[in-house]
Chain A
Amino acid sequence: MTDSIAAVSLHGVTKRFGEDVVAVDDVDLEIRDGEFFSLLGPSGCGKTTTLRMIAGLEFPTDGSIEIYGEEMGISPPNKRPVNTVFQSYALFPHMNVEDNIGFGLRMQKIDPAEIRTKVGEAIELVQMTGMEKRRPNALSGGQQQRVALARALVNRPKVLLLDEPLGALDLKLRQTMQLELKDIQSEVGISFVYVTHDQEEALTMSDRIAVMNEGRMEQVGRSEDIYDSPGSLFVAGFVGDMCFLTAEVVEAGAVRLSGGEIVRARTSDAAGTSVTLALRPEMLHLYAEASEAPSGRNAVKGSIARSVFNGGTMFYEVDIGAGGSFDVRVENKPSMRRWDMGDSVVVDFHPEAATALAQ
């Protein structure tokens, strides 16, 4: 039964600041043992507050938080089996790398010889060997990030909390660190709870993602599910590129666009409901004639209104008259036909690629 115990579980957790600010609103969440879990959302959505409540740096106004089945209540951060990597890293400027990493162990009154061994291992894990005596202000952003990670991991927490740890790094370094963090996570095998506003980062790194908006959980699921079948308009718009068309459900599995075209799509609403049809630009295909398009899918006629060269991809905006327009992204291959402004095209897509979402 041990693997049925969640690493972290939140039951009806609400956090109010003062009278009228509700930062986190009645959140239920289960984070599994050993998974890389991301809290994703725009700034101010409550993701950092949620993380801080798990760490014990804030306490819920309502609801309860359990870590491996143990109710946390108002136990302070130093009594919880979790450690945090802070957004600003919060390395102690008056201590060198070694002393920063050993701080948590010293506070726990661990034997000095054991501290030395563990700190050495942690330094090796984050590849900072040779920098033991440096002060934080003599380190680059990426190195500070590694020290912050080692300082948290050296305590062998049951859960590691990370608050936008890569936010301050430039793009190249961020991408390297994303993969490295993922490797370190599978090496140490503990649950990581990762807060980010960067949807691409969340998709790249996470086993599962919780998308938050205005203090509420919009959707919780595997990265693929969040991307392929967004559960709400917010998630659809926040995660990845999406093109939206207004439509109305005609029957289960079919909607009518504003221009009158009927297309097959994934629906969950009753006939007559106004919906927004969400489509991934890379799941749309362009053909010159409807006859060229594979049968059994959707084919909507339109004309090229804009074409943008993006290097690896071509981006087209296809005007379909009263229905609005499709955003289409085509991979840039020699075999691909290039379209010009005004060309008549047929937009082809699989019914599974179109999700009808309640407005």
Chain B
Amino acid sequence: MTLHQGAVARPWVERILAINGWFVFAFLYLPIMVVVVFSFSGSSNVGIWGGFSLRWYDQMLGNQQLMNALKNSIVIALWSTVIATVLGTAAALSLDRYRRWVGRGAFDGLLYLPIIIPDVTMAVMLLLWFTQTGLVPLGRTSITLAHIAFNISFVAIVVRARLAHMDPEMEDAAADLYAGRWQAFRRVTLPLILPGVLGGALLALTLSLDDVVITSFVQGPGATTLPVYVFGLIRRSVTPEINAVSTFMIAISMVLVLGSLGFQRRSEKDD
């Protein structure tokens, strides 16, 4: 804070930065605004305002396929988030705390691979793996497994960042104060990394809900997710129902983002 107060104020710099801020804000949110506004339009034409109406929301709720895809999306997102969060947190802990296991170095590097390689590559790999091994039929289970596969990396990275600035003496102190390994984890480590774990979980949830590319490869007949269904809908015909669905999805994302910001605030306050 003191640094900022000490800096020489140059009004024109501040004005340009403010204008830039508004420009970025408009660039990001005007398209979203358009979609939201037109989702309440009564016209059958996507781009023409036809007075306020909820008919597209009504049609969306009556669309059995769409509702089914939404249900799939939610179930898959929840399962993959829970499992990826547990596995990702465990991976982060083992990488950060235990320095001497065989293959640690390789795993450390490879953990980031799912984030770096293109979705399409990952999608093809997963599809090949599912079809070649034949262990899992393509459908909700294969989509869930695929989402777990990429989400583990994201969770592990977020949790590791949190672990990195946790004082290692905390765990020593817990052990010194008669806590066994599990109690030390349960009473000290977990509460301290919880903001990271929850942040990673929210990220995983968002990524799972948003994914199109990987899901469209590993989905099976009759089991698709909402974003993939919407993508198919656009290819067939563009109706204002898309606007309603999009607005609905934006609302979900907004709630998740606000939740994740809340956790970050809380964790900053703790430090």
Chain B residues within 8 Å of chain A by Cβ, number: 19
In the complex, A84→B187 CA distance in Å? 18
A158 interface contact, C-beta 8 A: no
Q: Is the CB of A94 within 8 A of B191?
A: yes
In the complex, A107→B192 CA distance in Å? 18
In the complex, A286→B177 CA distance in Å? 56
Which residues of B sit under 8 angstroms from A152, Cβ to Cβ? 176-177
Q: Is the CB of A83 within 8 A of B177?
A: yes
B163 → A minimal CB distance (Å)? 15
In A135-154, which residues have CB < 8 Å from any B CB?
137, 151-152
B251 interface contact, C-beta 8 A: no
Q: Is the CB of B172 within 8 A of A90?
A: yes
Q: What residue of chain B has the Cβ atom nearest to residue A52's Cβ?
A: B172
In B163-194, which residues have CB < 8 Å from any A CB?
167, 169-170, 172-180, 183, 187-188, 191-192
Q: Is the CB of B192 within 8 A of A93?
A: yes
Q: Is the CB of B178 within 8 A of A155?
A: yes
Contact of A155 among B177, B191, B192, B271 (CB under 8 A): B177
Chain A 20-58, CB-CB to B under 8 Å as 1, else 0, gives 000000000000000000000000000000000001110
Q: Is the CB of A84 within 8 A of B173?
A: yes
B270 interface contact, C-beta 8 A: yes
A88-B167, A90-B167, A94-B270 in contact; A107/B173 too (CB < 8 A)? Answer: no
In A65-99, which residues have CB < 8 Å from any B CB?
76-78, 82-84, 86-88, 90-94
Contact of A104 among B177, B180, B270, B271 (CB under 8 A): B177
Which residues of A sit under 8 angstroms from B175, Cβ to Cβ? 56-57, 76-78
Which residues of A sit under 8 angstroms from B183, Cβ to Cβ? 107
Q: Is the CB of B172 within 8 A of A57?
A: yes
Which residues of B sit under 8 angstroms from A88, Cβ to Cβ? 167, 169
Chain A CB within 10 Å, residue with most, of B175, B177, B270: B177
In the complex, A84→B176 CA distance in Å? 7
Q: What residue of chain A has the Cβ atom nearest to residue B179's Cβ?
A: A107
A93-B192, A94-B191, A107-B183 in contact; A86/B177 too (CB < 8 A)? Answer: no
Contact of A57 among B176, B177, B188, B271 (CB under 8 A): B176
In the complex, A82→B178 CA distance in Å? 10
Q: What residue of chain A has the Cβ atom nearest to residue B194's Cβ?
A: A94
In the complex, A155→B178 CA distance in Å? 10
Q: What residue of chain A has the Cβ atom nearest to residue B172's Cβ?
A: A57
A183 → B minimal CB distance (Å)? 24
Q: Is the CB of A90 within 8 A of B178?
A: no
Chain A interface size band reads 20 to 34
Chain B CB within 10 Å, residue with most, of A55, A78, A88: A78
In B59-99, which residues have CB < 8 Å from any A CB?
none
Contact of A86 among B172, B179, B192, B271 (CB under 8 A): B172
A108 interface contact, C-beta 8 A: yes
Which residues of A sit under 8 angstroms from B177, Cβ to Cβ? 78, 83, 103-104, 107, 151-152, 155
Which residues of A sit under 8 angstroms from B172, Cβ to Cβ? 55, 57, 77, 84, 86, 90
In B79-135, which residues have CB < 8 Å from any A CB?
none
Q: Is the CB of A77 within 8 A of B176?
A: yes
In the complex, A155→B179 CA distance in Å? 13
In the complex, A93→B191 CA distance in Å? 10
Q: Is the CB of B173 within 8 A of A86?
A: yes
In A97-147, which residues have CB < 8 Å from any B CB?
103-104, 107-108, 137
Q: What residue of chain B has the Cβ atom nearest to residue A76's Cβ?
A: B175
Q: What residue of chain A has the Cβ atom nearest to residue B188's Cβ?
A: A92
In the complex, A284→B180 CA distance in Å? 57
Q: Is the CB of A108 within 8 A of B188?
A: no
A78-B180, A155-B178 in contact; A90/B173 too (CB < 8 A)? Answer: yes
Q: What residue of chain B has the Cβ atom nearest to residue A55's Cβ?
A: B176
In the complex, A83→B179 CA distance in Å? 12
In the complex, A93→B266 CA distance in Å? 13
B168 → A minimal CB distance (Å)? 9
Q: Is the CB of B178 within 8 A of A107?
A: yes
Which residues of A sit under 8 angstroms from B270, Cβ to Cβ? 93-94, 137
A318 → B minimal CB distance (Å)? 48
In the complex, A92→B177 CA distance in Å? 12
In the complex, A148→B172 CA distance in Å? 13
Q: Is the CB of A78 within 8 A of B192?
A: no
B82 → A minimal CB distance (Å)? 23
Which residues of B sit under 8 angstroms from A57, Cβ to Cβ? 172, 175-176
Q: Is the CB of B188 within 8 A of A87?
A: no
Task: Using CB atoms and an 8 Å cutoff, list the residues of chain A in contact with chain B.
Answer: 55-57, 76-78, 82-84, 86-88, 90-94, 103-104, 107-108, 137, 151-152, 155
Taking A86-B169, A92-B173 as known contacts, 17 extra A-B pairs with beta carbons closer than 8 A to each other, sorted by chain A number, are A55-B172, A55-B176, A56-B175, A77-B172, A78-B179, A78-B180, A82-B176, A83-B176, A90-B172, A90-B173, A92-B170, A92-B174, A92-B192, A93-B271, A94-B191, A103-B187, A107-B187
22 CB contacts below 8 A, A to B, read A55-B172, A56-B176, A57-B175, A57-B176, A78-B175, A78-B179, A78-B180, A82-B176, A83-B176, A84-B172, A84-B176, A90-B169, A92-B170, A92-B173, A92-B174, A93-B192, A93-B270, A94-B270, A103-B179, A104-B178, A137-B270, A152-B177
> What 7 A-B pairs have minimum CB-CB distances, sorted nearest first?
A104-B177, A90-B173, A90-B169, A107-B178, A77-B175, A78-B178, A84-B176
